[in-house]
Amino acid sequence: MKEDFDRELGSADEIARNRYLDILHQFTLRQSSLTKLEDIVWNIAKTAIAELGFEDCVVYLLADEGLMLKQVAAHGPKNPVDREIFNEITIPVGQGIVGYVAQTGEVQRIDDARLDPRYIEDDNFRLSELAVPISHDGRIIGVLDSEHHAAKFFTDEDVRLFTTIASLASTRIDTALAMDRLEKTVEHLEEARQALEIQTEELREARLAAEAASVAKTNFLANMSHEIRTPMTAIVGFADLLANGVKDPEQQEQWRSQLTENARYLKDLIGNVLDMSAVEAGEMSLRFESINLLSTVTAAVENLRVRAERKNVGLETVLSGALPDAIITDSLKFREIIVNLLSNAIKYTERGAITVTLSAKNLGAKAILSVEVLDTGIGIDSVQMDNLFLPFSRVHDTHHRAGIEGTGLGLALSRQIAGALEGDIAVASTLGKGSKFTLTLPVEISAHTHWSEHHQANPFAVGPSKLSTKPSVPGTKELLGLRVLVCEDSASVATLLEVVLNAAGAIITQCVNGLEGLRCFEEQNALGTPPDLVLMDMQMPIMDGYEATGHIKAVRPDIPVVALTAFALADDIDRCLAAGCDYYLTKPIQIGTFTEELRLIRERLDA
Ligand code: ADP
């Protein structure tokens, strides 16, 4: 009987031990597959309730550098939803029962919370509480806590189980915490790397922008130097010639008009630069007035006709449909845009024709004007299209626009002006075929304005302008008999050189670009009458002076080539000499000393 009783007792112990082992075994099994902190702590909370029969379970972990306890999992009547903590609280270490366990590492079993002043009541007073520390490597990293409404609820076995669960889970929790910290560090590092990448890209863009601005500025200075010196050569030269006195009134008139034309060009150029700085400073002022549409466009087109004729390029104006007689706009600015578009069309067209088409849409009190400038010129690469309207940008490489005057301001300014007048400029172009620039401008029209149809195709055409061929001034003949090959594309400067060299007794041949110059040279050389000296403008269309000089020097290194350069910066001079030029003269040339300088060169040659 006693034996039976002992066996039964033994089996009750065994059952208890088996239950104990079973719970821990199951818990260890479940935990073994978990690596994420969230999974681990929620599994502890759920195990406490499901396996240990607790009413609730909260997992606290130390936070804020070990000063606070933060709830990371909470399960029970107050927290029925998985992975959701209702009214999450933090407890300062040292406060309440949980805070005490975190501070001391001692297990606390409270049988009647009413008797424990440390008990902090929240929504409901619960009489029993069991709190055990979670320690790893001798450090407390958190607390497991459970409360029960009944007094004296937690048994010794509960204490042992809860403590064992806490210590079994501690390594996993610590590893997960370390992984979390590592992941956060990696995240921060990744964020820092991305920020660094963005910063590097921004720096690269800023550097590229600064470099582009610097290149644009250098190009602008070089272009301005050229742009100013070329007309200055003509102005100073013709002024000198006129000052020396000339009897022939026709000759006098021609020099005077050359001087005026170049002075006007210079004035326009400086005006453009000043306008651009005013625009960039936001100071463009507009003056609206009623103007005659046709006569304004006529004046703009006719002013440029002579330039087109010089290049043998046709210029046609087409009036399409009905047009208002008068419009209200800023006439100077309106004209400026047309002049810019048309002078570009002439500059960048070597053959064919340019057509200016004027049309208007009648909207009652308003009209939408359209001025289309179509050319058969060099065209524009589609990639370069976006850069066209940037200030100081010249989109063609120097080879394609050698000798073509320009600062890269015209289009930028024109678009700014069009925008200020609430209009726009559109462009369509095919490289090598031509371009079409269209100005669209909304304008007011007064109530009495007539709309008239115009049918003539080219209402403004006039005959080709006349250029005299052999001007002469009395001279000292210091270059008598010297054969000079002159390559110069600027008509004004070419005329000036012709006058001065003829007066000094030189025998000159004139060419308008490097290729023509090279052909002349080869012809004369083959005939045994090569030039004694070549005067070479360096910036010319089709073939520039650098290339032409190279070819000439390859055949006849003994014939001196004198560079005439409007680029007066040190680099440009080095470039001239590197191209094979023997001497250089910078524009504007002083005609008083010019022939003297050539005479000295001749003397050196004869010696
Ligand atoms: P630029 O003084 O150089 O002519 P713009 O601002 O007027 O300056 O024009 C900018 C650039 O656009 C020019 O340098 C040229 O490369 C290109 N361009 C302008 N108009 C034309 C055109 N009609 N045909 C071809 N290229 C053009």
**How far does CA 136 lie from the centroid of its chain?**
57
Claim to verify: residue 68 and residue 158 sit in the same structural domain: yes
296 confidence band (pLDDT: 50, 70, 90): confident
Claim to verify: residue 323 and residue 364 sit in the same structural domain: yes
Is the pLDDT at 220 greater than 80, yes or no? no
Choose from 80-89, 265-274, 584-593 the range with maximum mean pLDDT. 80-89
Residue with tokens 């606070």: 68
Measure 392 CA to ligand 1 centroid, in angstroms. 10
Measure 396 CA to ligand 1 centroid, in angstroms. 8
DSSP strand pairing (561-565 vs 533-537) = parallel
Q: Which of 116, 127, 141, 161 is nearest to 55 (CA)?
A: 127
Q: Whose CA is nearest to atom 7 of ligand 1?
A: 410
Q: Which of 452, 475, 499 is the last residue of a domain?
A: 452
Measure 388 CA to ligand 1 centroid, in angstroms. 7
Range 300-329 average pLDDT:
88
Q: Against a cut of 0.85, is the pTM above it?
A: no
Claim to verify: residue 291 and residue 414 sit in the same structural domain: yes
**What tokens appear for 84 in the block?**
């959701």
DSSP percent split of the chain into helix, strand, coil, nearest 5: 50, 20, 30
**What tokens appear for 1 in the block?**
């009987």
Claim to verify: residue 514 and residue 444 sit in the same structural domain: no
Range 392-418 average pLDDT:
73
Question: Number of helices and strands (H, E) in the chain?
Answer: 13, 20
Nearest atom within ligand 1 for CA of residue 379? 25
Q: Which of 234, 320, 222, 77 is nearest to 573 (CA)?
A: 222
360 φ, ψ (degrees, to nearest 5): -150, 145
DSSP for 145-214 reads EEEESSTT---HHHHHHHHHHHHHHHHHHHHHHHHHHHHHHHHHHHHHHHHHHHHHHHHHHHHHHHHHHH
Beta strands in 259-362 (DSSP E): 289-292, 314-320, 322-324, 326-329, 353-362
The pLDDT value given to residue 260: 85
**What tokens appear for 439 in the block?**
């100005």
Q: Whose CA is nearest to atom 21 of ligand 1?
A: 344
**What tokens appear for 367 in the block?**
């009209």
Give the domain extent around 320: 287-452
Q: Which of 150, 185, 220 is the last residue of a domain?
A: 185
For the chain, what is the domain count? Answer: 3
Please indicate, yes or no, if residue 206 is contained in any of the structural domains: no
Mutate to test the pocket of ligand 1, among 344, 371, 386, 409 (most ligand atoms within 8 A of CB): 344
CA atoms within a 13 Å half-sphere pointing along the CA-CB vector of 532: 17
Question: Any residues with CB less than 8 A from the CB of 238 and at least 6 apart, and which?
Answer: 255, 256, 258, 259, 262, 492, 496
The pLDDT value given to residue 459: 39
Mean pLDDT (the chain, rounded): 85
Ligand 1 pocket, residues with Cβ under 6 angstroms? 340, 344-345, 347-348, 375, 377-380, 388, 394-396, 401, 406-412, 435
Is the pLDDT at 135 greater than 50, yes or no? yes
Measure 389 CA to ligand 1 centroid, in angstroms. 9
Q: Classify the C-alpha dihedral 482-485-487-488 as positive or negative.
A: positive
Please indicate, yes or no, if residue 245 is contained in any of the structural domains: no
The pLDDT value given to residue 311: 87
Mutate to test the pocket of ligand 1, among 224, 226, 387, 388 (most ligand atoms within 8 A of CB): 388
Asked if 305 contacts 343 with a C-beta cutoff of 8 angstroms, the reply is no
CATH number for the domain harbouring residue 114: 3.30.450.40
Q: Whose CA is nearest to atom 4 of ligand 1?
A: 406
Q: In this predicted structure, which of 275-279, 341-345, 456-460, 581-585 has the lowest mean pLDDT?
A: 456-460
Nearest atom within ligand 1 for CA of residue 411? 6
CATH number for the domain harbouring residue 410: 3.30.565.10
Please indicate, yes or no, if residue 265 is contained in any of the structural domains: no
Strands of 483-487's sheet, edge to edge?
507-511, 483-487, 533-537, 561-565, 583-586
Please indicate, yes or no, if residue 256 is contained in any of the structural domains: no
Is the pLDDT at 473 greater than 50, yes or no? no
Claim to verify: residue 177 and residue 326 sit in the same structural domain: no
Claim to verify: residue 550 and residue 599 sit in the same structural domain: yes
Measure 373 CA to ligand 1 centroid, in angstroms. 13
What does each C-alpha distance from 462 to 317, 373, 459 come to in angstroms? Answer: 12, 19, 9
Please indicate, yes or no, if residue 597 is contained in any of the structural domains: yes
Mutate to test the pocket of ligand 1, among 227, 337, 347 (most ligand atoms within 8 A of CB): 347
DSSP for 383-408 reads GGGGGTTSTT---S-TTTTTT----S
CATH number for the domain harbouring residue 562: 3.40.50.2300
Question: Any residues with CB less than 8 A from the CB of 586 and at least 6 apart, and which?
Answer: 229, 565, 566, 568, 573
pLDDT per position as a tens digit, 10-58: 677 888 888 889 999 989 998 989 989 999 999 999 988 888 999 999 9
Claim to verify: residue 538 and residue 487 sit in the same structural domain: yes
Q: How far apart are CA 411 and CA 607, in angstroms?
A: 53
Q: Whose CA is nearest to atom 20 of ligand 1?
A: 344
**How far does CA 174 lie from the centroid of its chain?**
51
Please indicate, yes or no, if residue 260 is contained in any of the structural domains: no
Q: Whose CA is nearest to atom 11 of ligand 1?
A: 394
Q: Which of 433, 452, 471 is the last residue of a domain?
A: 452
Nearest atom within ligand 1 for CA of residue 412? 6
Nearest atom within ligand 1 for CA of residue 396? 16
The pLDDT value given to residue 423: 96
2 confidence band (pLDDT: 50, 70, 90): very low
Measure 416 CA to ligand 1 centroid, in angstroms. 15
Claim to verify: residue 543 and residue 490 sit in the same structural domain: yes
Claim to verify: residue 295 and residue 408 sit in the same structural domain: yes
Is the pLDDT at 462 greater than 60, yes or no? no
Q: How far apart are CA 169 and CA 177, in angstroms?
A: 12
Range 116-126 average pLDDT:
85
Claim to verify: residue 564 and residue 427 sit in the same structural domain: no
Claim to verify: residue 144 and residue 293 sit in the same structural domain: no
Q: Whose CA is nearest to atom 25 of ligand 1?
A: 379
Please indicate, yes or no, if residue 240 is contained in any of the structural domains: no
**What tokens appear for 533 in the block?**
């000296």
Q: Classify the C-alpha dihedral 332-335-339-340 as positive or negative.
A: positive
Claim to verify: residue 376 and residue 503 sit in the same structural domain: no
Tell the burial category of 526 from Cβ atoms under 10 Å away from its Cβ (0-12, 13-18, 19+). exposed
Tell the burial category of 368 from Cβ atoms under 10 Å away from its Cβ (0-12, 13-18, 19+). middle
Is the pLDDT at 557 greater than 50, yes or no? yes
Please indicate, yes or no, if residue 281 is contained in any of the structural domains: no
